[in-house]
Structure 1
Amino acid sequence: MAPPSQEAPVADTPSQRPIKRFSASIVSVPIFVAMLVDETTRTFAIVNAVAQLTLFLVVACLPAWRTLRMSYVDIAWPWGLTVLGVQVLVLGELSPFTAVIACFYLVVGGRMGLAALTLWRAGEFDKELPRYRFQRLRWKRTSLGSERVDLVAEVLVQGWANCTVLAVPAALAVSADKPAFSAVTAAGFVLWACAWALESTADMQKLRFGAASAKAGVKRSCDAGLWKYSRHPNYFFQWLQWTAVVVMCLPELVDHFGRTNLYSAALLAFGLVGCSVSMYWCLVSYTGAIPAEYYSVQKRPDYRDYQARTNMFFPGPARTPSRTAR
């Protein structure tokens, strides 16, 4: 597939309604309902919803309303993941399985949360981050009528994800009855550990490349190390971590089908798959690769050539411009 167009997003036609903008959130409503209906996940669903709403209102919604910047959601969302990890430890039966699921949320959320706090303290949130400036281009025909309302709504979309699709592994861990650490769970854990290490490696490679470029006084596109094989290896390995947690939870999902009603179990299965699918969509289209590249081609003269020879998301060998892939 050819590199994505770097033109501004095409606005929806006048007949399209703002509800289309939140279709992914609407689709995930049955997942939350399933957690409420299932008595093994009901308490978790309620406690988590209250915790996430409180966190997002205080950390992101109120600052967004006051400053007209939604970048603060980069603090709220990852710390919302750590809240999920804490709930697994508090509400679940302590076992190797629940421990690794809690560890996943605490490590993934804590890493990004601490990085976001570092950026905030350095003043990076005094201006809107590019990926959230990009969102405004998408709101032209789907606005709710007020910039402040638009901002708060977008913030709550991420909070809702922490209550639904991204909470399903935690819900399965909390509801586990005599959870066992199976070979499948172990394989998922190894995959997660490798993906986490490779994401960290990609981030460090880009930091070193950026420092060297700044020292040389040039603007260059990073193609060192893992960036030689993917334009966004950090995003790819972040997505792979969410795919790994899906694998870790598969044995418990199968067991869940035998302990609860088919409706709830099927919707939790849908939500578990949604962890991987929704993170792919987010990291490619929503706040990830495509928004980043919209600005990269404007800032770096060599970026289009980098696009022509390097896959956007899935790692692969360098190619000639005639051999394109996503």
Structure 2
Amino acid sequence: MPPLAAAVIALIGLVMIFSAVWVWQLKSENAGMVDPVWAYSLGLVAVLYAVLGTGDPVSRALTALGGLIWGVRLGTHLWKRNYGKPEDARYHRFREQWGDQAGSKMFWFFQLQVVISMLLSLAFLMPSYRSTPAPTGWIVLAIVLWIVSVAGEGLADRQLKRFAQNPAHHDSVCRVGLWRYSRHPNYFFECVHWLAYIALSFGTPWGWFTLLPPVLMALLLLKLSGIPLLEESMARRRAGYAEYMRTTSALIPWPPRH
């Protein structure tokens, strides 16, 4: 199937999925479940492109496995974190700001997730349609980047979860493990994940499109919906977080400043 046709199928599917989640949040008044659905659905898009793609079988298989495992791990983590819990502070703030228009504006906010997902899915589309086998060295690099990113993000999530589950740490700032060197190590490894598909697409005519997903993800996390909104809330609620911001790298793990 041509890549444009595969992308159209993915777009229609994502619009339907996020519209269904929007209906769900109308009843629950909790938009937080859009996060795990985003990860799950993007993992499915990776499989879709790999199945419909006409490119090198090895590249398609690695794309499907990489995207699916990443999406299932992240989606399951977010599901366990959000399900049955109060609405995420970011979405609750939007709901308060939008007032009576929250329903309609939330719909378009969810459709914005579709646009972002389609742009990120370029990372899966390009290797699924590469006509020649990827060089062995680039395949190895892609696998190493993928393992480091998924394992690192999983480790950061587990460290934060264990810290938060300790009653003695109530309202304290997590500085254990990777969180000593980065305020958001999970976000750092999330960005690294998208670099794997650049290596897997290297040498293809349209491979440079895979540069967009890691840049977009870093921009979203650093400037828009990730770190700014989260840290604004954390600085108000947790004593010592302002100091943590002054002494600890925002994204890239680095020894803390004194």
After TM superposition, is the score higher than 0.5?
yes
Aligned to 2:145: 191
Question: Does residue 95 of structure 2 align to residue 150 of structure 1?
Answer: no
* Counterpart among 41, 57, 66 of residue 19 in structure 2: 57
Mapped to 1, the partners of 2:173 and 2:39 lie a distance apart of: 27
* Counterpart among 193, 202, 205 of residue 241 in structure 1: 193
Question: Does residue 241 of structure 2 align to residue 307 of structure 1?
Answer: no
The letter for the 1-side match of 2:178 is L
TM-aligned CA distance change 1:109 to 1:57, over 3 Å: same
Kept in 2, the 8 Å contact 1:97–1:179? The answer is yes
* Counterpart among 33, 44, 47 of residue 6 in structure 2: 44
* Counterpart among 92, 100, 120 of residue 62 in structure 2: 100
Mapped to 2, the partners of 1:136 and 1:246 lie a distance apart of: 37
Please show how residues 61-76 of structure 1 align to structure 2 within 5 Å.
Answer: 61-76=22-37
Mapped to 2, the partners of 1:285 and 1:235 lie a distance apart of: 13
Mapped to 2, the partners of 1:314 and 1:305 lie a distance apart of: 18
Deviations 1:3-53 (A, max 9, x none): xxxxxxxxxxxxxxxxxxxxxxxxxxxxxxxxxxxx831221121112111
* Counterpart among 274, 285, 289 of residue 212 in structure 2: 274
* Counterpart among 51, 74, 89 of residue 90 in structure 1: 51
Aligned to 1:29: none
Mapped to 1, the partners of 2:121 and 2:215 lie a distance apart of: 14
Mapped to 2, the partners of 1:247 and 1:134 lie a distance apart of: 39
* Counterpart among 141, 155, 179 of residue 227 in structure 1: 179
Mapped to 1, the partners of 2:194 and 2:148 lie a distance apart of: 12
Please show how residues 162-201 of structure 1 align to structure 2 within 5 Å.
Answer: 162-163=117-118, 165-201=119-155
CA drift of 1:223 comes to 0.6
Structure 2, unpaired ranges of 5+:
none
TM-aligned CA distance change 1:116 to 1:318, over 3 Å: closer
Aligned to 1:295: 233
Question: Does residue 116 of structure 2 align to residue 161 of structure 1?
Answer: yes
Kept in 2, the 8 Å contact 1:199–1:235? The answer is yes
Which stretch shifts more, 216-225 or 291-300?
A: 216-225
The letter for the 1-side match of 2:4 is R
Deviations 1:175-234 (A, max 9, x none): 22243353123212201211211111111111222233x1x2643101111111111111
TM-aligned CA distance change 1:158 to 1:116, over 3 Å: same
CA drift of 1:95 comes to 2.0
Mapped to 2, the partners of 1:68 and 1:210 lie a distance apart of: 25
Identify the structure with bigger relative contact order (alpha carbons < 8 Å, sequence gap 6+).
1
The letter for the 2-side match of 1:208 is R
The letter for the 2-side match of 1:101 is T
Deviations 1:71-94 (A, max 9, x none): 231132112112212213321256
**Bigger Cα Rg:** 1
Aligned to 1:10: none
Kept in 2, the 8 Å contact 1:98–1:173? The answer is yes
Kept in 2, the 8 Å contact 1:191–1:241? The answer is yes
Kept in 2, the 8 Å contact 1:228–1:318? The answer is yes
Kept in 1, the 8 Å contact 2:150–2:193? The answer is yes
Mapped to 2, the partners of 1:86 and 1:312 lie a distance apart of: 33
The letter for the 2-side match of 1:304 is A
The letter for the 2-side match of 1:307 is M
Structure with more helix by fraction: 2
Identical pairs, percent: 25
Structure 1, unpaired ranges of 5+:
1-38, 258-264, 321-326
Mapped to 2, the partners of 1:131 and 1:243 lie a distance apart of: 27
Mapped to 2, the partners of 1:169 and 1:305 lie a distance apart of: 37
Aligned to 1:318: 256
TM-aligned CA distance change 1:46 to 1:217, over 3 Å: closer
TM-aligned CA distance change 1:217 to 1:101, over 3 Å: closer
TM-aligned CA distance change 1:130 to 1:98, over 3 Å: same
State the TM-score, normalized to the length of structure 1: 0.72
Mapped to 2, the partners of 1:301 and 1:73 lie a distance apart of: 29
Mapped to 1, the partners of 2:79 and 2:148 lie a distance apart of: 25
